[in-house]
């Protein structure tokens, strides 16, 4: 029985997606290192930056799995495992938000962001199941999950930068007001 999975047709897309993940991961490290004090001193920003890094590494691994020549069933099982691991992180972050509301608020945590990550990983799991069952739909679902995760990570990183920028500008403004009443 011929499989509908033709990784060569997806190669260029996944080379681009993997490259995007690696580039975003590098940029995240640069931005984090430039604002290391603010991130280290704010548990919320620290957790979010760590989660973003792990999500980007996971997408990079997923691109490598898709590009590796192997049976579709194995790709599906790997996608299920990777996305099942991934879904645990935003669930963990939701528990953190619930148990540490004040520090979560200070770190810019919002519940809808966690649910967006959860939904993306669940789509990835569904795609893995479909791939394991030799369904052509599987790679479309895995790709939708991947792109969604890249968008979510980018927006999350942007929100962290905005929060840090606001935190940095607030003390300067307060000092300026004290000097010039």
**Mean pLDDT per 10-residue run, the chain (181 residues)?**
64 92 87 77 80 93 93 94 95 82 67 90 97 92 96 86 69 48 45
Query: DSSP assignment, residue 69?
Result: -
* Residue 176: per-residue pLDDT: 47
* Residue 80: per-residue pLDDT: 98
* Residue 75: per-residue pLDDT: 93
d(CA 54, CA 67): 20
Q: Of 79, 63, 55, which Cα lies nearest the Cα of 149?
A: 55
Ramachandran angles phi, psi of 133, nearest 5°? -95, 15
143's CB contacts (< 8 A; 6+ apart) are 10, 13, 17, 127
Ramachandran angles phi, psi of 3, nearest 5°? -90, 145
* Residue 145: per-residue pLDDT: 97
* Residue 2: per-residue pLDDT: 53
Write out the two tokens for 51. Answer: 């989660």
d(CA 89, CA 52): 10
Q: Of 108, 117, 111, which Cα lies nearest the Cα of 98?
A: 111
């Amino acid at each position: 029985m011929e499989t509908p999975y033709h990784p060569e047709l997806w190669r260029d897309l996944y080379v681009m997606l993997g490259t995007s993940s690696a580039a975003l991961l590098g940029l995240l490290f640069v931005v984090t290192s430039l604002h290391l004090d603010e991130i280290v001193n704010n548990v919320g920003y620290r957790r979010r930056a760590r989660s973003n890094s792990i999500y980007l590494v996971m997408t990079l691994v997923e691109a490598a799995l898709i590009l590796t020549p192997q049976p579709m069933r194995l790709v599906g099982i790997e996608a299920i495992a990777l996305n099942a691991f991934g879904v645990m992180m935003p669930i963990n972050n939701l528990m953190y938000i619930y148990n540490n509301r004040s520090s979560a608020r200070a770190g810019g945590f919002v519940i809808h962001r966690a649910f967006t990550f959860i939904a993306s990983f669940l789509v990835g799991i569904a795609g893995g199941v479909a791939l394991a069952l030799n369904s052509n739909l599987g790679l479309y679902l895995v790709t939708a999950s991947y792109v969604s995760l890249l968008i979510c990570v980018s927006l999350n990183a942007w929100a962290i930068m905005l929060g840090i920028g606001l935190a940095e500008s607030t003390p300067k403004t307060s000092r300026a007001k004290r000097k010039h009443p």
